[in-house]
Structures are given as C-alpha cells and as structure tokens.
C-alpha cells in the first residue's frame, strides 16, 4: 500500500506530532523523516542511507523547510533554511504525479517569504501592510528610500525567512535603525510601518472553509502578539473576517493556510500568510476542532 511521506523538523515538533497522531488514529501508512536526514545525489533523494522510492508514495506533507542547530557555547539557535531543497522536492513530486497541499501555489511562487509576499499581495490586490525591501541594506540607501516613502517611526523590521515572531524587531528611532542595519547589510530583510494595535488575528482556512479565528494579544509590556512568544489567545467570532480569509485564499489559490490579520480603521489587512502554520495556539482555544485530522482528510481527497 502506498504511504504518505511527512517531512518536518522533528517528530516531537508541532504540527508534525499532531499529524502523526492523526495518521496513526486513522491507520494510514506513512513515512516520517526530518529535513536534516535528507540528502540528494542526481535525481535520487536519500533518507539517511536509504533511497526514497517515490513509487510507494501517494502524497507528501511538508512541515516548514528548515532545521535548527543549537550552538553549545552560548545555546544560540541557528536555523538552516532549506528553500532550494524544498523546491527540488516540489518539482520532483510534481513530475511523478504525487500530490502535496498548495502545490499549484508553490509552482507559481517557488520562493515564498516575507519579501516575495508583498509582490504576491500587490499583484492580487490583497490589502496588506506596506512593505519595503532593498537588495543592498547600505545605510544611505535605506534612509534615502525610507525618506522618499515617508514612513514614520517606529518601524518593524523582519528577516524574510523568520517565523513564529522570531527575527522581528521594532525600531523606534533613526539612530536605532542606523545601528541595526550597520550589521545587516547582506541580510534579507523587509521594513514595515508599526501599526499600533491591541491584538491581531489568526484564521485557519482549509479547502475554502475557515475553521475559526484566534485572537492574539501581547503580554503586558510586550508588543508581539505571537502565541509562541507568550501572547494571550482566545476564540474570536467575526463572519466578515472569516469571509475575508477565505476570499484571500481563493484569490491566491491556497488550499490551506494560517492567515495573520490586522483589523484597521480602513478594514482588514494581511500581516502575513503562513503556509506551514503551528497548531498549538489554535487547538488550545478550539479543542473541539482537530486541525491535523482535517488536513489528513483533505489530503486523502486530493490524492492523484
């Protein structure tokens, strides 16, 4: 019997862990491997020393394409981005007629991150946070462009490949920004205006259905609302926001996504769209909804 191939950061990592539980519960045969166990030679892909036989794979579910290394001397976590390897695998499984969620979207936008998002949103006329990116973060170039675009401080600066609220900074003054970019000339970052808010919202959409909305608010004295950074989460009901989330996914051709939304005086705006979204925060406020099972059920209907 053909199996589902699940590739993630680690079996204990959310959401891989929850998807594995759902696969076992439904007695669906699967293979799990960490990104760090993969290697490539020509057209062959290895899981450790074993060649992956794609003839035995019915579909592939990816978790976020990176793996963390902890430096022993200072316990610093360094995440290795595997975007190129991810795209090689996407092309490979597409050629072999193997399904993976959001396959059409990834084919159209193979390098999807915070920088490329702004172009995707603009081309589809999706309301979002104004975003600026420079190829060269030389101090003079950054200030000249920001002066022309006239955003006011504070600014939010993000690494394009960050996630979970990590590698995101609020820069309050011109001097702070000068010191910040001095060491990051070659780092892929984006600049956005800071929009003051009491909360933002995470909506999960699968197959054109919004499963629910989670309201996220920062701890006292903090400004990031992310659940992974200690933000408070609660259920939130807003049919207009649900319809907005579904509409955005439809415009982008997304089958499943976690959408981060800001409610502004001008309406809803997308902060970013997560194609590899965590489940812990959402499940804590919607214990009655098994998101992992819904993902598996949807994938089973799409097997080619």
Q: Is the dihedral of CA 25, 28, 30, 34 positive or negative?
A: negative
At 75 the pLDDT is 55
Alpha helices in 130-238 (DSSP H): 139-149, 174-182
Say if residue 278 is exposed, middle or buried (CB neighbours under 10 Å; 0-12, 13-18, 19+).
buried
Can you list the positions of beta strands (E) in 71-113? Answer: 77-81
Q: Is the dihedral of CA 288, 277, 67, 71 positive or negative?
A: negative
DSSP letter for 63, please.
P
Q: Are 212 and 203 in contact (CB under 8 A)?
A: yes
Residue 62: which of 25, 112, 116 has the closest Cα? Answer: 112
pTM above 0.85, yes or no: yes
Residue 191: which of 268, 115, 86 has the closest Cα? Answer: 115
- Domain borders along the chain are 3-100, 114-127+197-296, 132-193
**CATH annotation of 3-100:** 3.40.50
Given CATH 3.30.1490.20, say whether it is the number of domain 132-193.
yes
At 220 the pLDDT is 87
Read off the tokens for 215: 């309201």
Report the distance separating Cα 230 and Cα 213, nearest Å.
18
Strand partners, 212: 204
Q: Count other C-beta atoms under 10 Å from residue 55's C-beta.
A: 8
Report the distance separating Cα 36 and Cα 48, nearest Å.
9
Read off the tokens for 228: 């992974």
What's the start-to-end Cα distance of the chain, in Å?
A: 15
Residues ≥6 apart with Cβ < 8 Å to 101: 61, 255, 256, 295, 298, 299, 302
Superfamily of 114-127+197-296 according to CATH:
ATP-grasp fold, B domain (3.30.470.20)
At 67 the pLDDT is 58
At 46 the pLDDT is 97
Rg (CA), the chain: 20
- If DSSP codes are grouped into helix, strand and coil, which group holds residue 281? helix
Would you give per-residue pLDDT tens digits along the chain (304 residues)?
A: 899 999 988 767 678 899 999 999 999 999 999 998 999 999 899 999 999 999 999 999 998 876 555 545 555 555 667 888 999 999 999 999 999 999 999 989 887 888 899 999 999 999 999 998 899 999 899 988 887 776 688 999 998 877 777 788 999 998 999 998 888 888 888 999 999 899 999 999 999 999 999 999 998 888 888 887 788 999 999 999 999 999 999 999 999 999 999 999 999 999 999 999 989 899 999 999 999 999 999 999 886 5
At 78 the pLDDT is 59
């Amino acid at each position: 019997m053909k199996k589902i191939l699940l590739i993630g950061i680690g079996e204990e990592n959310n959401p891989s862990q929850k998807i594995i539980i759902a696969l076992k519960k439904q007695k669906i045969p699967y293979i799990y491997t960490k990104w760090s166990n993969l290697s490539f030679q020509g057209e062959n892909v290895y899981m450790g020393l074993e060649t992956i036989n794609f003839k035995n794979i019915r579909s592939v579910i990816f978790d976020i394409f990176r793996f963390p290394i902890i430096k022993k001397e200072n316990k610093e976590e360094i995440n290795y981005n595997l975007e190129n390897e991810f795209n090689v695998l996407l092309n490979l499984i597409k050629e072999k007629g193997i399904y993976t969620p959001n396959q059409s979207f990834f084919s159209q936008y193979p390098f999807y991150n915070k920088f490329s998002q702004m172009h995707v949103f603009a081309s589809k006329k999706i309301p979002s946070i104004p975003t600026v990116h420079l190829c060269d973060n030389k101090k003079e170039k950054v200030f000249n462009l920001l002066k022309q675009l006239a955003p006011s401080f504070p600014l939010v600066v993000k690494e394009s490949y960050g996630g979970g609220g990590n590698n995101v900074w609020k820069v309050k003054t011109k001097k702070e920004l000068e010191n910040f970019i001095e060491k990051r000339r070659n780092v892929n970052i984006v600049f956005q205006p800071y929009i003051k808010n009491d909360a933002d919202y995470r909506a999960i959409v699968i197959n054109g259905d919004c499963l629910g909305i989670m309201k996220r608010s920062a701890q006292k004295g903090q400004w990031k609302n992310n659940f992974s950074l200690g933000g408070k989460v609660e259920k939130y009901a807003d049919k207009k926001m649900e319809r907005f989330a579904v509409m955005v996914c439809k415009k982008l051709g997304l089958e499943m996504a976690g959408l981060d939304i800001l409610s502004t005086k001008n309406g809803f705006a997308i902060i970013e769209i997560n194609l590899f979204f965590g489940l812990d925060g959402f499940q804590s406020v919607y214990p009655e909804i098994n998101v992992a099972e819904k993902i598996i059920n949807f994938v089973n209907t799409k097997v080619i």
